[in-house]
């Protein structure tokens, strides 16, 4: 029966099914990419855990491990110093990516670091030692009594994970630093996932409601002919499952095809290993099943009127008005959100839940707002096209909301991100001034030796001292900075190499070096903002285009009858355009203000609420993109309107 109904829809019915498949495919592909991004950041953090040693008792320790960070060409180089402890302690295990424990004096480097000139390496680290391709990592073997393995190293909160003091270890399992460099990326990816996935779910659910009125009429007719409610539900579920499954499989294939391209996106310093973005077979199957269930559930959710009141569906009786309770619920959600978040630092989990609730509230109030707008437009109409648009908005506000819901939710995202800004110049030191943290009693000696080393290397630099906080030594309060201001910036790395080793376990750094994590995250945050907005508006435009075409196909009998009655095509097209543009303008504006409203307490908590020229330009660009997409979707479905209006007539469906 389901297959006959699908085939019986003719060319237009198959086109509607194709649009549903396309929507499900887009939904599946982006869902898998979002899941892959979360798993990718988790994998990166896991591959970095071994660099933060897990301290054990001296009696259990077989080795000592310390971590430091130097810089080459402005890029961080992670240096892992290890030494096997003497005595009957057992053999020290091999670090990740290495076949054995390094002997004293050996240097193992990652492929990217090994390609640098002047680096003599014993071997090359495997990918298990790295968080991403192109990462610069070195593992250096020492004797247990070397100064590098006995001198304490102070931590620097500005550079999480960059410096770890010598620590006795039993293995290289390591431990997760909750404030490590990967934590903010994982939090950001969680928020991004919510902001992208919820509009995706709306798109997927909307795909099941394409051609809803035509399908409801067919099913209501079957119900009047004696079909049991269970049979009606079974037909609907089977029809939706076929299109949902086809779209989910196509989306999975699209995800697999996009993986190599997605792995080249530079995030957190570089590209990805493809293995990190692969979700795995169980998760893949789970997403596919979830998409199909979502499509089926959305289709079944609209069957109540068909089963309970099939005669009203066939006669196209007027749908009940939306209750004002929807608007009251929306206001209550916003007030509760403001009360709980006002000038407070919210956890990522709390923000995730809030976003989900606010998106749900927008979806609840949206149809009510469309219905109110339809009433207003119908009362104030002075032209036939405006009257038709107002009546359509009033008669079927849910359908009109589905057509522009993606754009409204994308506008919320744009408004939310508009108030956030990161970045700024590093407040520590100078970019051409190297610094070392030196105990006060050794200031004169280190300063003199630094000058001699630079002179022997023929590097022009001014050596001095100051009390700024750039370098981090042993963490003692009595330390001061010995600085070397290099005259030629091109010799900065050469000067860094010359000064390395002056103090055990410490590498000379500049103000830019100290702030590298913050600057990198700020840049990635800006890129993520544009990526989220781009994805949100791409989803919105896709949803709008599919809904526009689906609406034309769904109403083809109505359009045909109006056309036969003498209504010009330009009037039908103007009514259709007004029906989409008016709610889009009103609801995207409201969603935009809602996003700004929700971001305000969070930026107030950080002390940086601002809507500057850049944010204004971002909002204007996003809105322009959205309305260009809306206009494009309307224009693309105009030929379809002409076709169905000319082909359809007063014949039964």
Residue 495 belongs to a domain: yes
Band of pLDDT at residue 607, cut at 50, 70 and 90: very low
443 in a structural domain: yes
> Residue range 211-240: average pLDDT?
62
Checking if the pLDDT of 567 tops 90, the result is no
**Span 286-311, mean pLDDT?**
71
| pLDDT at residue 278 in the model | 95
Domain co-membership, 457 together with 340:
no
Domain for residue 626, yes or no? Answer: yes
How are beta strands 75-84 and 63-72 bridged, if at all? antiparallel
Does 409 lie in the same domain as 539? yes
Distance CA 90, CA 113 (A): 31
Q: What is the dihedral of CA 550, 556, 558, 561, to 10 degrees?
A: 160
Q: Based on the domain organization, do 267 and 309 belong to the same domain?
A: yes
Domain assignment present for 533: yes
Asked if the structure places residue 493 within a domain, the reply is: yes
Q: Mark whether 540 and 641 lie in a shared domain.
A: yes
> What mean pLDDT comes out for the span 461-481?
85
Shared-domain flag, residues 308 and 337: no
- Helix, strand, coil content of the chain in percent (nearest 5): 60, 10, 30
Q: What phi and psi, each to the nearest 5 degrees, are found at residue 499?
A: -85, -15
Query: Among 147, 169, 191, where does a domain finish?
Result: 169
Name the percent of the chain lying above pLDDT 70: 83
Split at pLDDT 50, 70, 90, the class of 173 is very high
CA angle 298, 585, 580 (to 5 degrees): 55
pLDDT at 222 over 70: no
Q: What is the CATH number of the domain that holds 437?
A: 3.30.70
644, 573: one domain: yes
Residue 594's domain spans which residues?
Answer: 322-420+520-653
Q: Of 462, 481, 514, which residue constitutes the final position of a domain?
A: 514
Domain check: are 402 and 540 in the same one?
yes
Pair 647, 554 in one domain: yes
Per-residue confidence (pLDDT) for residue 128, from 0 to 100: 94
The answer to whether residue 295 scores a pLDDT higher than 90 is: no
220 compared with 465, residue with greater pLDDT:
465
List, for residues 384-431, the tens digit of each pLDDT value.
888 888 888 888 788 788 778 888 888 888 888 777 665 554 566 778
Residue 175 falls within a domain, yes or no?
no
Any domain includes 189? no
Which pLDDT value is given to residue 653?
42
pLDDT at 37: 93
Is the separation of the CB atoms in 157 and 125 below 8 Å? Answer: no
pLDDT tens-digit map of 69-102 = 999 888 999 999 999 998 777 889 999 999 999 9
Residues 396 and 468 in one domain: no
Q: pTM for this structure?
A: 0.80
Same-domain pairing of 33 and 138: no
Q: To the nearest whole number, what is the mean pLDDT of the chain? A: 81
- Asked if the structure places residue 536 within a domain, the reply is yes
Average pLDDT over residues 240-256: 91
489 and 463 in a common domain: yes
Give the chain's domain count.
Answer: 4
478 lies in the same domain as 575? no
Has residue 256 got a pLDDT over 50?
yes
Strand partners, 223: none
Would you give the DSSP letter of residue 267?
B
- Last-in-domain residue among 458, 484, 514: 514
Report H helices in 381-440.
384-395, 397-418
Residues 378 and 392: their CA atoms lie apart, in Å, by 9
pLDDT of residue 343: 60
């Amino acid at each position: 029966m389901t297959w006959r109904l699908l085939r019986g829809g003719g060319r237009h019915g198959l086109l509607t099914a194709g649009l549903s498949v396309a929507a499900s495919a887009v939904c599946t592909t982006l869902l898998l990419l979002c899941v892959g991004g979360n798993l990718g950041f988790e994998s990166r953090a896991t591959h970095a855990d071994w660099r933060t040693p897990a301290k054990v008792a001296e009696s259990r320790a077989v080795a000592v491990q310390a971590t430091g960070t130097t810089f080459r060409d402005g890029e961080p180089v992670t240096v892992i110093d290890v030494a096997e402890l003497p005595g009957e302690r057992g053999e020290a295990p091999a670090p990740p990516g290495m076949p054995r424990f390094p002997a004293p004096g050996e240097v193992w480097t990652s492929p990217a670091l090994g390609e640098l000139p002047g680096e003599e390496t014993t071997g090359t680290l495997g990918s298990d030692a790295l968080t991403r391709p192109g990462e610069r990592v070195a593992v250096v073997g020492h004797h247990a009594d070397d100064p590098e393995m006995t001198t304490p190293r102070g931590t620097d909160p500005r550079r999480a994970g960059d410096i770890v003091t010598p620590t006795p270890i039993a293995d290289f399992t390591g431990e997760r630093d909750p404030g490590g460099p990967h934590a903010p990326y994982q939090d950001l990816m969680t928020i991004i996932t919510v902001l992208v996935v919820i509009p995706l779910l709306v798109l997927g659910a909307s795909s099941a409601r394409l051609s809803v009125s035509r399908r409801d009429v067919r099913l209501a007719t079957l119900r009047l002919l004696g079909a049991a409610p269970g049979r009606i539900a079974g037909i609907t579920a089977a029809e939706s499952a076929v299109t949902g499954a086809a779209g989910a499989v196509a989306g999975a294939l699209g995800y697999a095809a996009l993986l190599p391209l997605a792995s080249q996106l530079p995030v957190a310093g570089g590209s990805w290993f493809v293995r990190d973005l692969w979700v795995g077979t169980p998760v893949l199957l789970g997403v596919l099943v979830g998409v199909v269930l979502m499509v089926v559930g959305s289709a079944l959710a609209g069957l109540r009127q068909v089963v309970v009141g099939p005669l009203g569906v066939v006669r196209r009786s007027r749908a009940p008005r939306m209750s004002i309770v929807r608007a009251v619920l929306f206001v209550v959600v916003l007030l509760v959100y403001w009360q709980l978040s006002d000038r407070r630092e919210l956890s990522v989990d709390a923000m995730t839940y809030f976003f989900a609730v606010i998106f749900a509230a927008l979806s609840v109030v949206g149809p009510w707002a469309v219905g109110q707008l339809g009433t207003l437009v119908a009362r104030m109409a002075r032209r036939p096209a405006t009257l038709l648009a107002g009546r359509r908005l009033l008669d079927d506000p849910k359908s009109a909301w589905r057509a522009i819901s993606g754009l409204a939710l994308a506008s919320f995202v744009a408004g939310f991100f508009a108030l956030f800004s990161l970045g700024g110049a590093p407040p520590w030191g100078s970019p051409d001034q190297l610094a070392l943290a030196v105990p006060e009693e050794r200031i004169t000696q280190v300063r003199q030796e630094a000058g001699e080393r630079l002179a022997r290397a023929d590097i022009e630099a001014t050596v001095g001292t100051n009390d700024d906080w750039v370098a981090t030594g042993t963490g003692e309060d009595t330390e001061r900075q010995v600085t070397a201001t290099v005259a030629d910036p091109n010799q900065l790395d050469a000067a860094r190499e010359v000064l390395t080793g002056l103090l055990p376990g410490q590498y000379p750094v500049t103000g830019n070096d100290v702030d590298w994590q913050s600057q990198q995250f700020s840049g990635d945050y800006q890129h993520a903002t544009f990526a989220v907005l781009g994805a949100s508006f791409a989803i919105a435009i896709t949803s709008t285009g599919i809904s526009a075409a689906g609406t034309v196909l769904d109403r083809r009998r109505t359009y045909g009858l109006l056309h036969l009655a003498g209504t010009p095509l330009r009037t039908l097209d103007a009514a259709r355009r007004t029906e989409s543009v008016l709610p889009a303008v009103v609801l995207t504006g409201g969603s935009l203000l809602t996003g700004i409203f929700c971001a305000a307490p969070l930026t107030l908590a950080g002390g940086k609420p601002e809507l500057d020229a850049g944010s204004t330009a971002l909002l204007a660009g996003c809105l322009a993109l959205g309305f260009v997409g809306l206009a494009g979707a309307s224009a693309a479905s105009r030929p379809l309107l002409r076709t169905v209006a000319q082909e359809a007539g007063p014949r039964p469906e």
